[in-house]
Each structure stands twice: as C-alpha cells, then as structure tokens.
Chain A
Amino acid sequence: MIAQGELDGVPVLLSPAPGLMRAGLVFRVGFADEPLARHGITHLLEHLVLYPLGLSDYHFNGTTGVEHTSFHMQGSPDDVARFLTGVCASLQDLPVHRLDVEKELLRTEANGRGDGAMDAMPLWRHGARDYGMSSYPEFGLPAITADELRAWAARYFTRDNAVLWIAGDHVPAGLRLPLPSGRREPLPVPSSALPVTPAFFPGPPGVVAWNATVPRHPASQVFADLLEREMYRALRQEAGLSYTAGSSYREVGADAAMVVAVADALPEKQEAVFGGLIDVLTTMQVGRIDQADLAVVLRQRGETLWNADQQGTRVAGEAAALLAGRPVRQVEEEIAGIMAVTVGDVAMVAGMARTSGLLMAPEGVDARWAGFQPAPNLSEQVIIGTAHAALSGHDAHLITGDDGVTLVGGDDHLTVRFDACAIVRAWPDGGRLFVGHDGIMVRVEPTLFRNGHQAVAFLDARIPPGLRVDQPARRPDQIPAPQSSGPRPEPPPTRAEKLDARRIRASYVLAVIFGLGIVSRVLQAAGDRYGSDVQLAVLVVLLIGGAIIAGSLIRSRRRRLA
C-alpha cells in the first residue's frame, strides 16, 4: 500500500517495507533534457551536490538517468533526514569551486567504464537530440560554466519538479526539503532520425539487438516477457544459436515504451540468430501465442510486482509515474491491469513493434530480406559554398557555406547544417567535429584540405552561439597529415564499395564512441538485469568489435579524407 503525502511542497510516496529505511529524492531531469553541447551537465550537478556530503559514512548515492536524477540513501530515519536535507541545501549553494576537479572526475569515470553493446542504438533512432543523448560521451563538460549549472539547478531541481519516495513506515521527523518553487518539466518528446521503419544499421559482430517503440501499456510489458521466453526457447533451447537471449521493457517519454531484445551469436551463426528472432516476432504478431505460456507470464509478472511492493521496491517507479503526471497506482491495480492482457492484445503490440523496429544487425547481415530498410548514414543535402579539395588528390572535398558544411567523398556526402547542428567540438590546431541533429558527423581537418585553415575560420565565424565546445590541445601525432605522395586518385566507387562505405561510416560513428570510452549506461543495465556474466560477455564482444571497427576506421579515413 503506497500512501501519498506532501512535505515542504514536495509530493511524498510512502511504502511500508522491512529493514532499514530507504528513501529517494527524484527530479524530472536527465540526459534527454540536455543539448549535446551541454551533455553531462546533470551528471556534473549531481556530483557537485553530493560533494559536501561526501565525508560521512552514509550509504548513499546519486544517479543520473535518461529522464530522472535521484539522490537516494539507506539508513536510520535520522540519517535519511540529514542526507536529503543536505542535498537540498547543497543544491542552493553549489560548491562551484570544485567544478574543474569534478569535470576531471567525470572524465575518469567515463574512461573507467566499458562500452555497452547497444550504446549506438539511441543515436540511430533519435539522432543527437533528447533520447539519442545516451549514445554520446559527455561532450558538453568542457564548456559548462558555474552560471549554467546554477541556472540548470534553478530550472529543474525545484519542489514542483521533485517527488520523494520512502520505503519505510513514516516520514523521518526533522526532514526538511527546502527547495525553490518552479514548474513540473514535461518529458521530452522523442526525436526520430529514421525516415522509415523498420530500419537497420550495421553493428559489431556477435550480437543481434533490436528495439521497438510500443504504447505504454500492460500488454507491452507482457509482450516483452513473452518475447524473452520465446527467444530463449527458439534461439537457445531449440536451435542452440545463442547463449544469452532476452528482452526488456522500459518506459520512454510521456506515453510510449521501448521493448529491447538482445541475443548474442557466434559470428558464423549471426544471421540464423536474426532469422530466428524475426520468426519469433512474426509468430507473436500473427497471434500464435500459447494460452498456457501467456498464463505463466502473467502469473510471474504478477508475483514479481507483489514481491516488489512487499519489499518497497515498487515505490520508486511510482514516483517516476507521478513526475510524469500519471496517478499513483496500488499494486492490486497494476496486477489487475496485467491479468487483463489477452493474446489479442499481445499480438497487436507485436504488430506495432514489428513496424517500429530498429535493428542493430551484425556486420554482413543484410536485413532487407526481413523488410528492414537501411537507416540513413549519409546526407541527402549538399551545402552550397566553397569547395576545398583534399590535398591528397583523392576524390574528396570539403564544402563550406553560409548554411553549414559538407564533406564529399565520391558520390557520398555528409552534411551538417548550422540550423540543425548539435555541437561543434573545436581543437586549438583547427580540427573541428560537427555533429548534426540527425547524428551525421563531419570532421573538418584543416591539414587535409586546400586552404583548410581559411575554411575553418569561415566556419568558426558562423557557428551558432552555445554550440562550440573547445577541447584541450591534441598531441602532434593525433593531428592527421595528408598523404602527399599518395597513389593516383582512386576510380569512382562501385556499388559494392558504396555499400561498404555506408558500413564504414557507421563504424566511424561507433569507433568515435568506442575510442572515447563513453559512459556505459547500457552495460550497467546489462549487468543489473542479466548479471555480471553477461556484462562480461558484452564487454568481451565489445573489445573485439572495437578492434575490428578501429581497423575499418583507419581504412575509411584513408578512403574518405586522405
């Protein structure tokens, strides 16, 4: 039974639970609210807030997620009160003298974590905006100022944008939540970088990953559970193709949810894993779902919910619901919603999932046979402006114009428009990386193009405010040099080479991510959800994938820019 109350203008959810009291102060802000050019600001803020509380023995932590940021702790009611009141005080008086140190710590934290197998999926689905942010490293950190942090706190960390949950039987006496007033921030509307779905993009070998947007509905949860069951049966038990095969459900935005399915595969079995997944999905879509299987899944989910409620672990999810403007539900109500799901409901969700799917296909699998279209990895548009030929004499050039920048290689082009630009990373030597809202990246290396420094100066003068993020100097060996005595220009690419180029460009995106050691939320999630064995497996797959992709990056850079 979850009871609702209020403290200092903050809604409170109280769920009786055994053991030590646990509590969390949750704010409706996360990565999805950040622009790429300030990506990392919420995480940085969370770290700064906790810094003054850091020398105690409290069992506490903060987490920055896609949609929420929370400060939580387990301990005696007095400890909980002291911690949460401390958090509120710290929010009002950020230790900004720690700014540079915390930025360094965050960079270290990012480097210390691995890379999730599916880190690229948000980028391909959403581009470099809102829900795509999870794919990117915290690119904004170098640019974030103390004033920006204070403004971010004032906008999002208010009593009107917070909910307190407590797994325990009372609100600790002495707990105060002195937060300024503000407004409830709506969940971001997910952007789409996919002109058509179902779509696919090439990923590392050895893993088939798929996600789909579905309605936020109990039937979608049941669909995810049944999908996992069927994948396990078809891919592992019957065909012996995958060691791990699973799926999950998570809510996204105001009214949608995402179902994610992942299966590992030996490189020589990967197309069969994909084929098996498609057959499982289609079987559910046509409604050939065993009533007995459905009954098992409903019962299991019901039991899980009931246990979560008894343990007080359901309340955090209800806090998120409340922040999204939905009513708090009691467990009985939620279980009743699950129990009412029929085979027909699941089939309908499966049909929507089949249509909205995004597949990360292992390299070499052409998913068009199952109706998936290649996700765009090149730009349609070319900027009109001044062309700068590649110094190597290869069939590549850079076009700079008032509207943006285009990199041309053969018949392919990559364009970032200034009015649809998410970030410009700038190095002192003149190197620039433009990232468009659609996730397309244009790397401008002045050393590789005729009048390259003039081109950079021209572009610099036109970068919209707030997008430029200056980077520390690169080592001389990190600055590319043209291959002046290179071979004769390559002949125009054949069709096969163009297809190859698509793959390479995708690898490029991934390679940048791998190379920079992105904070891996997905790996963490894999660990939380499937255990450390899977986490390790994912990591191993990634290391191998990273090496392969790094190889293709080198080739692609030669082809494109040299």
Chain B
Amino acid sequence: MFDRSDDEVLLVPAAYPEFGVLDAAVDRRDWAGCRAVLDSVPLSGRSMLMRYAAEKPGLEEWLRYLLQADPWDSTASALLGMHLTDVGWNIRTSMRAEYVSPAQFEQFHAWLRRAEAVLIDGAARAPYDPAVWSARLTTARGLQMDAAEERRRYDRLAAADPHHFNGQRQYLNSLLPKWGGSWPQAHAFAREAMMAAPPGAHQGALVAEVHVEQWLDLGAEHEKAAAAHLAGARDSLHEAANRSIWHADFRRDLGWVSVASTFAMLFAEMSDQASAARVFAMLGPMASRWPWSYYDEHDETVMIRRHRRRAASALTGGRR
C-alpha cells in the first residue's frame, strides 16, 4: 500500500501562506492587515489573492465604506469590482450560455454593470493598478464587449504591468471560441505572452491552458479528436514547461501551484507519465482545483490522487 502522506492534497489557496493571513484579515475586516499582505507580494500574485478574497460573501458594504473614506484606494475598488463580479457570476453559473436562463443573464449583467461602475472610477484614479484592469477584463467578457474594447483594456493592463499573468489569463479567456474568439488567436496570444516574458516566468502556463481548453472542447464531442490534439501538443507543451516550471529561474511564488497543476494534468492525460510524475514530484501535496475540477464525476482531490498515483506507479514500473 502507499504511504498515507502521499495521499495528502493541499488545495490552493490554502497552499499559499499569504492567503491565510489575508483571509483572516478580511474576516476581521482589518483593511490595514489586508493591505499589508497585498502590498508585499508581486503584482500578479496580488491580483490572484484578491480574486480569491473577493469570493467571500458579504464584502460589499465594508468595501463601499472603505471607498467612501478613500476613493483613491484602488486596492479597495479592484477588490469590490471583483467581488460584485463574482456575485454576478455565481448567479450566471459557469454553465455554457445555452443553459443559462434570461433572468439569470439579466441579473448577471446587472451585477457586472455595478462592478464596472466601481472599476471605471478606480481605473480613472489609478490607471497603473493592474488589478483594476485585470478585473475590467473579466467584466468586459461577461458584458460581451467587443474584441477591440477587450484589447484596449488588455493594452492598459500591459502598460501597467507588462507580464501580468493574472490579467493575461482573463484576456486569454476572451480569445477562446466560447467567448467569441478563435483557437489560432488564443494559441498565438499565449505563445506571444510566453516568449515576451522572462524565461522561468509563469506565462508558459498560458500555452498549456489553451491546450486544456481545446482538449476539453473537442472531448465534449469526439474523444479521439481530443486525444489526437493532446498528442499533437506534446512539443508545444514541453517547450512551455521548459520555459516555465522546468526552467532554472522558475520561482515558486504566488500562483505557481495552478501553473504546475495545469501541466501535471495535461501530461497525465496524454500519458506522458514521466513528465507528469516530474511535475507531481515538484508539487508534493499541493494542487489547485483547476483544471482538475472539470472532471465533474468526482471531487478534484479524488482525481488528483488517482492521477498522481498512476504517474508514480508508471515511473516505478508499476510497483506501489
């Protein structure tokens, strides 16, 4: 049998100590405490932490109060914008559009417009806060703005922080066919962002992410086509892994767990067990829900354990 400790799964954001501190500060409604954490981490990690924190229910009143006291606090406006967006998105659900009712859409859009109002003001006051632009990329997608407005927002984000992984993921989403983009556009943006970022940066995961999306999209109809896509993506994925998680300069800072998890899942799915095992080894007990959460037949942790074991056993010649 396998060792119990091998079975441990520590899901982000719990994997990041900063999140625990932020979470506690939010629970205490201790804004100085929140700012202390958020101001001390890299910009993309800050946006990511804020997105997690924004998921907590019941933040609106507190954040509005903070903004009233200091409308120039763009951390508060970005967080409030993200929070209102999250409330709206929970009403919409993450189902495909055809399964969302008109009433749900109406409420979803109403919440996003409220978020936009906060973010428009935030962007005017702090145009160089990438969290605000990252949040505005999400609202733009939800409110079905045209590609040019999304691009304008992305350009503003890039002017604030040229390699803002958190916002790049948002923009990448809007380039996917399900949001009105196309696969060539999405692949091109991901690779371009990866090549522009310094070696060892997280941006390699953007390339992996498009492969996940395309594989999922194909898999919904044709299992074989999906598998064939992954087989064809091998070189692209190895290039992306070599430029990010396997690069000597790869840093295990905020966000790295989901970056590595995306690669782990893809390598496992394409039966590149050696690579998968290498990534699982790197992750240890840590994992992120996405992309494992797509297997809706099981809890993520079940799937993570299963694939981790499979990769490990393949590597050790089937012994447990």
Task: List the interface of chain A (C-beta within 8 A of B).
Answer: 239, 241, 268-272, 274-276, 278-279, 282-283, 285-286, 288, 364-366, 368-371, 495
Cα(A364)–Cα(B180), bound, Å:
15
Top 10 nearest A-B pairs (CB, nearest first) are: A272-B148, A282-B124, A271-B146, A271-B149, A272-B152, A269-B148, A283-B124, A272-B149, A275-B149, A286-B124
B71 at the interface (CB under 8 A from A): yes
A282-B136 Cα distance, complex, nearest whole Å: 15
For residue B127, which residue of chain A has the nearest CB?
A: A283
Docked pose: A146 CA to B216 CA in angstroms? 78
5 pairs across A/B with beta carbons < 8 Å? A272-B151, A283-B127, A288-B124, A288-B125, A368-B109
Which residues 89-107 of B have a CB within 8 angstroms of A? 102
- Asked whether B147 lies within 8 Å of A276 as measured between CB atoms, the reply is no
User: 17 additional contacts, CB 8 Å, given A268-B148, A276-B152, A286-B71?
Assistant: A239-B152, A241-B152, A271-B148, A272-B146, A275-B149, A278-B120, A282-B120, A282-B123, A286-B121, A286-B124, A286-B125, A364-B146, A365-B146, A369-B113, A370-B120, A371-B113, A495-B102
Minimum CB–CB distance from A72 to chain B (whole Å) comes to 44
Q: Quick check: A275 and B125 within 8 Å, CB to CB?
A: no
The answer on a CB contact under 8 Å between A279 and B155 is no
Is B116 positioned at the interface, with any CB of A under 8 Å from its CB? yes
A420 to chain B, nearest CB (A): 32
Give A527 Cβ to nearest chain B Cβ, in Å: 28
A549 to chain B, nearest CB (A): 20
Give chain B interface residues in 111-130, CB to chain A under 8 Å: 112-113, 116-117, 120-121, 123-125, 127
Contact of B102 with A274 in the complex, beta carbons under 8 Å: no
Judged by a CB distance under 8 angstroms, whether B153 is at the interface is yes
- B residues near A282, Cβ cutoff 8 Å: 120-121, 123-124
Let me know if B139 is at the binding interface, CB within 8 A: yes
CA distance A241 to B147 in the complex (A): 13
Report whether over half of chain B's contact residues are helix, strand or loop; otherwise say mixed. Answer: helix
Shortest CB-to-CB span from A13 to chain B, Å, is 43
- Cβ contacts under 8 Å, B41 to chain A: none
* Interface flag for B218 (CB, 8 Å): no
Inter-chain contact B102/A369, CB cutoff 8 Å = no
Whether B146 pairs with A268 at a CB distance below 8 angstroms is yes
**How many angstroms between the C-alpha atoms of A370 and B139 in the bound complex?**
11
A residues less than 8 Å from B121 (CB atoms): 282, 286
- B117, B124, B139, B155 — most chain A CB neighbours (10 Å): B124
Contacts of B71 in A (CB 8 A): 286
A241 CA to B71 CA, complexed, in Å = 30
Say how far B162's CB is from chain A's closest CB, in angstroms.
15
Contacts of B120 in A (CB 8 A): 278-279, 282, 370-371
Instruction: For the complex formed, measure the closest distance between the CB of A514 and the CB atoms of chain B, giving whole angstroms.
Output: 25
Indicate whether A241 sits within 8 Å of B116 (C-beta atoms), given known contacts A275-B153, A282-B123, A495-B102: no
* Residues in B whose Cβ lies below 8 Å from that of A495: 102
B202 to chain A, nearest CB (A): 27
Q: A274, B149: Cβ atoms under 8 Å?
A: yes
Residues in B whose Cβ lies below 8 Å from that of A270:
146, 148
Q: B143 within 8 Å of A by Cβ?
A: yes
Cβ 8 A contact of B143, one of A269, A369, A371: A369
Do A369 and B116 have beta carbons less than 8 Å apart?
yes
Q: Are B123 and A275 in contact (CB under 8 A)?
A: no
Question: How many angstroms from the CA of A270 to the CA of B146 in the assembled complex?
Answer: 8
Counting chain B CB atoms within 10 Å of each CB, the highest count among A241, A269, A272, A274 belongs to A272
**Chain A residue, CB-CB nearest to B146:** A271
The chain A residue sitting closest to B152, CB to CB, is: A272
CB contacts (< 8 Å) of A241 on chain B: these are: 148, 152
For residue B146, which residues in chain A have a CB less than 8 angstroms away from its CB?
Answer: 268, 270-272, 364-365
Residue of A nearest to B71 (CB): A286
A67 to B259, CA, bound (A): 66
Least Cβ–Cβ distance between B136 and chain A, in angstroms: 9
Q: Is B36 an interface residue (CB 8 A)?
A: no
Compute how far the CA of A282 lies from the CA of B120 in the bound complex, rounded to whole angstroms: 7
Contact with A271, one of B124, B127, B139, B145 (Cβ below 8 angstroms): B145
A278 CA to B143 CA, complexed, in Å: 16
Chain B residues with Cβ under 8 A from A271's Cβ? Answer: 145-146, 148-149
Please give the distance in Å from A105's CB to the nearest CB on chain B: 45
**Which residues of chain A are within 8 angstroms of B113 by Cβ–Cβ distance?**
368-369, 371
Task: Kindly identify which residue among B124, B125, B139, B155 contacts A239, using a CB–CB cutoff of 8 Å.
Answer: B155
Question: Measured between C-beta atoms, what is the minimum distance from B259 to chain A in Å?
Answer: 30
Q: Which residues of B contact A283 (CB under 8 A)?
A: 124, 127
* A272–B153 alpha-carbon span in the complex (Å): 9
- Which single residue of chain A is at the shortest CB-CB distance from B142? A369
- What is the minimal beta-carbon distance from A473 to any residue of chain B, in angstroms? 46
Nearest CB of chain B from residue A217's CB, rounded to whole Å: 22
Tell me the nearest residue of chain B to A275, going by C-beta. B149
Shortest Cβ distance from A269 into B: residue: B148
**Once the chains are docked, how many angstroms separate the CA of A240 from the CA of B78?**
27
B124 touches A279 (CB 8 A): yes
CB distance from A499 to the nearest CB of B (A): 12
- Looking at the assembled complex, report how far the CB atom of A143 sits from the nearest CB atom of chain B, in whole angstroms: 46
In B71-88, the 8 Å CB interface with A consists of: 71
**Which of A268, A271, A365, A371 is the most central at the interface, judged by chain B CB atoms within 10 Å of its CB?**
A271
Identify the interface centre among A268, A275, A278, A282: most chain B CB within 10 Å of its CB.
Answer: A275
Distance in angstroms between the alpha carbons of A236 and B145 in the assembled complex: 20
When chains A and B are docked, how far (Å) is the Cα of A304 from the Cα of B76? Answer: 44
Question: Shortest distance in angstroms between B212's beta carbon and chain A's nearest beta carbon?
Answer: 29
The smallest beta-carbon distance between B210 and chain A, in angstroms, is: 23
Q: Which residues of B contact A364 (CB under 8 A)?
A: 146
Q: A369 touching B112 by the CB < 8 A rule?
A: yes
Inter-chain contact A279/B145, CB cutoff 8 Å: no
Question: Please, how many angstroms separate the alpha-carbon atoms of A171 and B123 in the complex?
Answer: 57
B117–A371 CB distance below 8 A? yes
Chain B residues near A365 (CB-CB < 8 A): 146
Q: Which residue of B has the minimal Cβ distance to A284?
A: B124
CB of B92 to closest CB in A, whole Å: 15
Q: How far is the CB of B186 from chain A (nearest CB, A)?
A: 18
Which residues on B sit within 8 Å (CB–CB) of A278? 120
Residues of A within 8 A of B153 (CB): 275
Residues in B13-34 with C-beta less than 8 Å from chain A: none
CB distance from B135 to the nearest CB of A (A): 13
The answer for the CA separation of A511 and B61 in the assembled complex, in Å, is: 47
Please, which residue of chain A has its CB at the minimum distance from the CB of B126? A288
Q: How far is the CA of A371 from the CA of B120 in the complex (A)?
A: 10
Task: Tell me the complex Cα distance, A270–B147, Å.
Answer: 10
CB-CB under 8 A from A274, the residues of chain B are 149
Cross-chain contact B124 with A369 (CB below 8 angstroms): no
